[in-house]
């Protein structure tokens, strides 16, 4: 290691100890009350099965739209997801990053072709927008990575389309593979993204931290713990950066961090401490290197950056380059304020409910009544847990579809999302349009098996106790009953959400699926069939 790197590393460690001493961190208090707070905040904010379904299905829908634009020939591109969804570090309000890819060749698509491609999609989206299928269509063609933004009216999900973003796809799959080494990586990254989004500092467009920068800083923190929780990425990339090759190497590191027994709360607080301690060192050349698994000294030539995070697949690039000199002040003000809130809570000066609101925003019902560190033994077993499901926006374009015989289903004709009733007219607006483009043919979307293995314990096919609304049916949740999810057909034959074939939270009420029949998939021809459309 170069002398400059050693000097900066020594200074960073010294400053970290100084910042840590101001908080008076008591491991017992942190691993007690604070750890429960963060685990509950994580469980409540985690995406629900319908959030996975909607994003997976939107990818399918964009591919249908692609065929409509280019025709059914062999030269049309394929739309793939990347970013926080593929990394499995997204929340229900996260954007969906999509890349329009031409073929499998390694040649980069010229910028002009990217712009022409995006204009074709923008033209299509503007037509959809006039029908109320989508909204907020924006073409941003002067950016380093040109994109088109569009919001699906049915789900409210904002989709960001770029062209040939293979680098983003590759990194996303690598991060997802590495998250299998230790579940604390996924959980800590998720919480940090929620914190950054709540404080409006998670947007490269606004010159703050992009999601990859946040996840990378979390990874570095876990690499530099004693003992380390994650290995240097150089070890994981020894056979190249192909995600399949990385996955094979990762399989040999699954138990790498088991000697480190730090709780999620300890890691969360010390991450803020680490970031606060290096505030004045970035300008001296400090750089986060995941490849080496440590802080390093790095010169970017004539360029200087407020924050430096080395790209682990292309070390000549700074993935935090979008952060502005004024915006970094805002970022650090948020970090210092959060450290102050941690200190107040751990010293009994702040309610746990208040701390969670200050960290992650007050849009989620609190799940604890903890007063502070001195109240860590208070039972939480009987507290209600909310679904916190963002309501889907109502369709506004049904009258524009050429489906004259559709009948609105009777009052008893609905499906279940989680343990709550949801109207079948609240699916994805783009999904309805895709159905029309396909001539009304029903094609259930495939759910990738990669989303069945989730660090937080659920996804398509399972539902955690923390995601259930215990008060929804006036009964207690039976954690031994495992629900199943099957697509439910909405009034025009599209599987707009999941139907739970599950034991009711109150066993005395019987199976959920015996109360909520499926909707007929033949509504184009004759409306709801009498055998399915009536409430039993």
Residue whose C-alpha is closest to residue 81's, from 104, 60, 103, 51: 60
Pick the residue with more confidence: 199 or 519?
Answer: 199
Residue 107: alpha-carbon gap to chain centroid: 30
Domains and CATH numbers, the chain: 3-46+169-333 (1.10.1410.10), 49-165 (3.30.460.10), 398-533 (no CATH)
DSSP assignments along 422-451, one per residue: E-TT-S-HHHHHHHHHTTT---PPPPPGGG
Can you give the pLDDT at residue 135?
96
pLDDT at 356 over 50: yes
Percentage of the chain modeled with pLDDT above 70: 64
Can you give the pLDDT at residue 393?
35
Each residue's pLDDT tens digit, 313-352: 999 999 999 999 999 999 999 999 999 999 888 888 889 9
What is the mean pLDDT of the segment spanning 374-379? 31
Bridge-partner residues for 294, per DSSP? 289
What is the mean pLDDT of the segment spanning 390-411? 33
What is the mean pLDDT of the segment spanning 381-400? 33
Can you give the pLDDT at residue 96?
96
For residues 250 and 181, the answer to whether their CB atoms sit within 8 Å is: yes
As a whole number, the mean pLDDT across the chain is 74
pLDDT at 404 over 50: no
Can you give the pLDDT at residue 414?
29
- Cβ contacts of 435 within 8 Å, gap of 6 or more: 441, 442, 492, 493, 494
498: three-class secondary structure by DSSP: strand
- Cβ contacts of 98 within 8 Å, gap of 6 or more: 59, 62, 79, 80, 81, 82, 159, 160, 161, 162
Can you give the pLDDT at residue 5?
62
Banded model confidence at residue 1, pLDDT cuts 50, 70, 90: low
Joined together, the tokens standing for residue 80 give 């793939």
Can you give the pLDDT at residue 104?
67
Each residue's pLDDT tens digit, 421-464: 333 334 566 766 666 566 554 344 443 333 333 333 323 333 33
pTM of the model: 0.71
Banded model confidence at residue 64, pLDDT cuts 50, 70, 90: very high
Question: Residues 130-163, buried b or exposed e (16+ Cβ, 10 A)?
Answer: eeebbbebebeeeeebbbbbbbbbbbbbbbbbbb
3-class DSSP string for 297-314: ECCECCECCCCCEECCCC
For residues 215 and 202, the answer to whether their CB atoms sit within 8 Å is: no
For residues 463 and 418, the answer to whether their CB atoms sit within 8 Å is: yes
Nearest-angstrom CA–CA distance, 394 and 69 = 27
Pick the residue with more confidence: 517 or 175?
Answer: 175
Can you give the pLDDT at residue 217?
98
Nearest-angstrom CA–CA distance, 473 and 459 = 22
As a whole number of angstroms, the longest Cα–Cα distance in the chain is: 79
Each residue's pLDDT tens digit, 456-489: 332 333 333 333 332 222 233 333 333 333 343 4
Can you give the pLDDT at residue 23?
73
69-83, 305-319, 390-404 — which one is most confidently predicted on average? 305-319
3-class DSSP string for 249-298: HHHHHCCCCCCCCCCHHHHHHHHHHHHHHCCCCHHHCEEEECCCCEEEEC
Nearest-angstrom CA–CA distance, 475 and 494 = 32
Can you give the pLDDT at residue 389?
36
Each residue's pLDDT tens digit, 85-125: 999 999 878 899 999 998 766 678 999 999 999 999 999 99
Banded model confidence at residue 9, pLDDT cuts 50, 70, 90: confident
- Cβ contacts of 50 within 8 Å, gap of 6 or more: 389, 417, 418, 497, 498
Joined together, the tokens standing for residue 56 give 């997976």
Joined together, the tokens standing for residue 472 give 């929804």
Residue whose C-alpha is closest to residue 154's, from 414, 442, 395, 410: 395
179: three-class secondary structure by DSSP: coil
């Amino acid at each position: 290691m170069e002398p400059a790197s050693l000097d900066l590393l020594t200074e960073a460690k010294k400053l970290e100890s100084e910042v840590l001493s101001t908080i008076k961190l008591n491991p017992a208090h942190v691993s007690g009350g604070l750890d429960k707070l963060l685990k509950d905040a994580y469980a409540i904010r985690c995406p629900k099965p319908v959030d996975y379904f909607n994003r997976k299905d939107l990818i399918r829908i964009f591919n249908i739209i692609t065929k409509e634009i280019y025709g059914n020939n062999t030269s049309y591109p394929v739309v793939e997801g990347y970013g926080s969804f593929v990394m499995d570090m997204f929340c229900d309000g996260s954007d969906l990053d999509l890349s329009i890819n031409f073929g499998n060749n390694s040649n980069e698509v010229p910028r002009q072709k990217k712009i022409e491609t995006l204009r074709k999609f923008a033209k299509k989206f503007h037509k959809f927008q006039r029908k109320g299928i989508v909204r907020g269509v924006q073409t941003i063609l002067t950016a380093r990575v040109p994109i088109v933004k569009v919001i699906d009216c049915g789900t409210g999900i904002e989709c960001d389309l770029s062209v040939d973003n293979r680098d983003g796809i590759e990194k996303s799959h690598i991060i997802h593979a590495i998250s299998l080494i230790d579940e604390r990586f996924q959980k800590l990254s998720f919480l940090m993204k929620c914190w950054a989004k709540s404080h409006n500092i998670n947007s490269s467009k606004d010159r703050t931290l992009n999601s990859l920068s946040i996840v990378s800083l979390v990874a570095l923190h876990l690499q530099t713990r004693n003992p380390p929780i994650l290995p240097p990425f150089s070890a994981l990339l020894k056979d190249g950066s192909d995600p399949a090759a990385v996955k094979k190497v990762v399989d040999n590191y699954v138990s790498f961090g088991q000697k480190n027994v730090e709780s999620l709360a300890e890691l969360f607080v010390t991450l803020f401490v680490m970031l606060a301690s290096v505030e004045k060192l970035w300008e001296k050349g400090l750089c986060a290197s995941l490849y080496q698994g440590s802080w390093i000294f790095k010169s970017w030539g004539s360029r200087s950056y407020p924050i430096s995070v080395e790209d682990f697949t292309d070390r000549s690039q700074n993935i935090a380059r979008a952060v502005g000199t004024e915006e970094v002040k805002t970022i650090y003000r948020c970090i210092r304020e959060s450290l102050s809130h941690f200190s107040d809570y751990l010293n009994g000066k702040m309610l746990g409910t208040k701390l969670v609101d200050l960290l992650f925003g007050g849009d989620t019902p609190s799940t604890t009544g903890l007063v502070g560190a001195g109240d860590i033994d208070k039972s939480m077993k009987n507290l209600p847990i909310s679904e916190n499901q963002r309501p889907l926006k109502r369709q506004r374009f049904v009258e524009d579809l050429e489906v004259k015989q559709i009948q609105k289903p009777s009052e008893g004709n609905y499906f279940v999302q989680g343990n709550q009733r949801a109207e079948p007219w609240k699916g994805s607006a783009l999904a309805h349009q895709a159905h029309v483009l396909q001539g009304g043919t029903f094609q259930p979307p495939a759910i990738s098996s990669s989303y069945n293995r989730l660090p937080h314990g659920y996804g398509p096919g399972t539902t955690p106790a923390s995601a259930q609304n215990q008060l929804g049916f006036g009964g207690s949740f039976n954690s031994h009953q495992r629900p199943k999810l099957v697509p439910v057909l909405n009034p025009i034959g599209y599987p707009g959400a999941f139907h739970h074939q599950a034991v009711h939270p109150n066993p005395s009420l019987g199976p959920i699926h015996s109360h909520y029949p499926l909707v007929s998939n033949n509504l184009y021809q004759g409306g709801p069939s009498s055998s399915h459309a009536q409430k039993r």
